[in-house]
Structure formats: C-alpha cells, structure tokens
Amino acid sequence: MPNPEVSIRHILVACVNYDPTRVRDELDLAIGASSLGGCVDDVLFPALREIGSRWQSGELDLEAERLTSEAVRGWPEALALRAPEPTAAAPLLLARGPADQHSIGLEALDVLLRHQGQACRVLGSRTSVRALTTAVNANRPRAVVIASHLRANRSSATSSIRAAAALGAEVFYAGGAFSSARQRRHVPGTHLGSTLQSACALLMAPSSPQVGD
C-alpha cells in the first residue's frame, strides 16, 4: 500500500499530466492505505499546498492547477453519497466566513462527520452574518463551525462567530485566519486545531444542548 509521500508524489504527477481521474484514484487508494481522516490530513492537504506552491512559483500552469482543484472539490461530494444515515438528530452547521469563497477543508470535514453518523448542514461561500443567524434559528444545530482561511478575512469571520455565540450556539472555528494564539485572542468558542481528525474528534464529543433547549 502506498505511503503518504508516494501518494502525494503520484498526485503531483497526475496534476502535471492533466489527469484529474488519477488524482481521485490516488486519494481513494490513500483511504485504503490509512483512513479517510488520514488521507485528508496526510495526503490531500499536503498535496494541495505543494500544488499551490508550484503554481505560485510558475512550475505549474493555471490549467493544471484548475483541473486538479476541480477534481479535489468533486471528490468529497462522491464520498458524502456513500456516508451512512445520520444517527444524531441535531445537525452541525458548517459555514464559511462572510469573505471566504472556497474551503475544501469544510467539505472534507463534512464528509468525515457524515461517515461518523453526524448530520451536517453546509452553507455556501461567503455566508453573511444575516444568513448564518437565519440558518442557526432554522436548523437548531448542535453546534456551529465557522471556517476562514485568510488573515484578511479574520475580522468578518469573527463577527459571524460572535453572532452565532450570541444566539446560544456552541461555536467552533478553524482555518488559517486563526492559526496563531494571537489571532484567536478574544474570539469566542473553541478552536478546532490544525488537523481534520482532531477537529472531528472535538465535534463528535458530547456537547451542550442544542440552540433553543
């Protein structure tokens, strides 16, 4: 079975060769070699970082990067269809910050949670504070997760976190916007850490009653 370094190397080769099917196949093989969580943390994210770095340096062209990104975005959707029926009644609400457009991490977290029987509601990109609070009131979630990946977007994401907390929701947050202790200062809620496996463990732990109880 391939180790993470071999899987990452094969994904990079597939990217260079404009082969999105092989990218997905390598990710599936990595699940078999480890686990879904291990594949995401040890293969998918490092591969995406390396692809991004090579694109910025000019080693990869835009079309190769785009094809691979599209393949990766479609991969969690296929896995979600194979998830078991949820065993938890109250959903988790997963949202991006108001200025955040893309987040493969949020979709991957959704898949990990679904495969552990947790119902989830994933909101769209650039979720406004108003849309978030409406969704919290409508879904009565067990907890709310806000993801933001750019430091420039931290202020608006923090506004979403505070709005959800003000409604009584248990709030978690993640992403590069909150990677350091200084960036998390005065932010309510719980930081989900640097890996999806640890984030999933925190979210699946017993929590406070859902909003409205």
Residue pair 133/103 in contact (Cβ under 8 Å)? The answer is no
Q: Show me where the domains of the chain are located.
A: 4-81, 92-204
Rounded Cα gap, residues 63 and 68, in angstroms = 9
Q: Mean pLDDT across the chain, nearest whole number? A: 90
**In the structure encoding, which two tokens stand for residue 60, read together?**
């990869």
Nearest one of 47, 12, 162 to 97, comparing CA atoms: 162
For residues 78-87, give the mean pLDDT. 86
Q: What is the pLDDT of residue 69?
A: 86
**In the structure encoding, which two tokens stand for residue 138, read together?**
């409508």
Task: Please give the CATH architecture assigned to the domain spanning 4-81.
Answer: Orthogonal Bundle (1.10)
For residues 144-161, give the mean pLDDT. 94
DSSP secondary structure letter of residue 174: E
Domain 92-204 -> CATH class: alpha beta
Q: What is the pLDDT of residue 81?
A: 85
Q: Is 175 exposed, middle or buried (0-12, 13-18, 19+ CB in 10 A)?
A: buried
Q: How many CA atoms lie within 13 A of 212 on its CB side?
A: 8
For residues 150-159, give the mean pLDDT. 93
Residues 10-51: tens digit of each pLDDT: 999 999 999 999 999 999 999 988 889 999 999 999 999 999
Residue pair 143/120 in contact (Cβ under 8 Å)? The answer is no
Residue pair 149/176 in contact (Cβ under 8 Å)? The answer is yes
Rounded Cα gap, residues 68 and 16, in angstroms = 9
The DSSP bridge partners found for residue 145 are 94, 172
